[in-house]
């Protein structure tokens, strides 16, 4: 049956429920948030309708600029670590037997679905003095005595890489699975070592995929909210933490909304970049 344009009004009826739900509970809340970002805060928790730029101005202060800078830097570090770790891994995984692939995919999905709370809890246990990895190092005689590794920047980074790694693999998976195996075979026949074939054939062929993945993991990491709180110090807090803090604990909805709108703009800019990178990939 070919696809046909809707002929009668009744043909549109399947669209009614999804369109209404997405409009009322996604578009309207989004619009509300943008509107609130221009509202005036009122002492005592609520806000009054207004059209002011105060919230945005406040956001452009040195403190919040610093937080934004830190959030972006953190997300970049996570994206780079993840792609460097996951690219060869995913490539090798796609060359393995289907059965092995499925076991890994199930494991990766399970970890991906783990709540940030749980990941934070697990790593803070692992980094703790009483139940942590330093105990293993002590047992192996590599360390004098057990110590706590949190809170620290390295702990936040580890937790976030852990959280984003399965996501990275799953983003890379389709592109790598579809990669023409004859490409590397040709290189191998011509005498290239597997490692050389990987870096001179696979990586350049996937340049656009890699760029797109870096951006997607970056956005994913930008959303991290609990790990900086559970594994880091207040100076390691990201924009997501501050938004929630302002919205829930400071009851400053307009300011939280302004920060969120700003975060959307940054994200959308990056999504646009991903799309452009993807288009170029298709053209190549």
Partner 1 sequence: MTSVFRKFYFFLIALFLALPLIVVAGVSVNQKQTLAFPPEGFSTSWYGEIFLNTEWRNALFASVTLAVLSAALAVAIALPLAWFLWRRVAPWANIFQLLGVAPFTLPPVITALGLLTFWATAGFYGQPWTAVVSHGIFFVTLPLVTLSLGFTSIDRSLVEAAATMGADERTIFRTVVLPLILPYIVSGYAFAFVLSLNEYIVAYMTVGFTMETLPIKIFNALRYGYTPTMASVTVLFVSTAALIFGLVARFGDLPKLLGAMASDQK
| 260 binds partner 1 per the rule CB under 8 A | yes
* Straight-line distance from the first to the last Cα atom of the chain, in angstroms, rounded to the nearest whole number: 34
| 256 binds partner 1 per the rule CB under 8 A | yes
| 174 binds partner 1 per the rule CB under 8 A | yes
Query: How many angstroms separate the Cα of 241 from the Cα of each of 109, 128, 238, 246?
Result: 25, 23, 5, 9
| 1 binds partner 1 per the rule CB under 8 A | yes
Which among 2-10, 52-60, 76-84, 147-155 is the span making contact with partner 1, rule CB under 8 A?
A: 2-10
Q: Which residues touch 138 (CB under 8 Å, ≥6 apart)? A: 144, 145, 146
- Separation of CA 153 from chain center: 18
| 15 binds partner 1 per the rule CB under 8 A | yes
| 11 binds partner 1 per the rule CB under 8 A | yes
| 218 binds partner 1 per the rule CB under 8 A | no
| 4 binds partner 1 per the rule CB under 8 A | yes
Task: Give the single-character DSSP code of 42.
Answer: -
Quick note: the x/- pattern for partner 1 over 134-173, rule CB under 8 A, is -x--------------------------x--xx---x--x
Show contacts with partner 1 in window 99-138 (CB under 8 A).
101-102, 105-111, 113-126, 128, 130-133, 135
Q: At what angle do helices 116-126 and 153-177 cross, to 10 degrees?
A: 130
Strands 47-48 and 40-41: antiparallel
């Amino acid at each position: 049956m070919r696809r046909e344009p809707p002929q009668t009004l009744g043909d549109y009826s399947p669209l009614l429920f999804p369109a209404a739900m997405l409009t009322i509970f996604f578009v309207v809340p989004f619009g509300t948030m943008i509107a609130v970002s221009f509202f005036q805060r009122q002492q005592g928790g609520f806000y009054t309708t207004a059209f002011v730029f105060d919230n945005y101005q406040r956001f452009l202060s040195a403190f919040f600029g610093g937080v934004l800078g830190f959030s972006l830097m953190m997300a970049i570090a996570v994206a780079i670590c993840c792609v460097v770790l996951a690219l060869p891994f995913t490539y090798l995984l796609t060359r393995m037997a289907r059965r092995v692939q499925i076991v890994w995919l199930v494991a990766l999905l399970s970890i991906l679905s783990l709540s940030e709370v749980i990941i934070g809890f697990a790593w803070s246990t692992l980094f703790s003095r009483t139940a942590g990895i330093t105990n293993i190092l002590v047992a192996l005689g590599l360390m004098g005595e057990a110590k706590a590794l949190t809170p620290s920047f390295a702990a936040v980074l580890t937790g976030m890489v852990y959280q984003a790694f399965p996501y990275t693999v799953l983003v890379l998976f389709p592109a790598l699975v579809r990669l023409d195996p004859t490409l590397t075979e040709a290189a191998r026949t011509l005498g290239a070592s597997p490692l050389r074939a990987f870096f001179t054939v696979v990586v350049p062929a996937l340049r656009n995929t890699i760029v797109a993945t870096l951006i997607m993991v970056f956005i994913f990491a930008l959303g991290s909210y609990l790990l900086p709180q559970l594994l880091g110090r207040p100076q390691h807090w990201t924009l997501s933490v501050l938004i929630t803090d302002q919205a829930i604990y400071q009851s400053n909805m307009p300011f939280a909304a302004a920060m969120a709108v700003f975060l959307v703009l940054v994200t959308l800019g990056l999504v646009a970049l991903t799309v452009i990178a993807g288009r170029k990939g298709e053209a190549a």
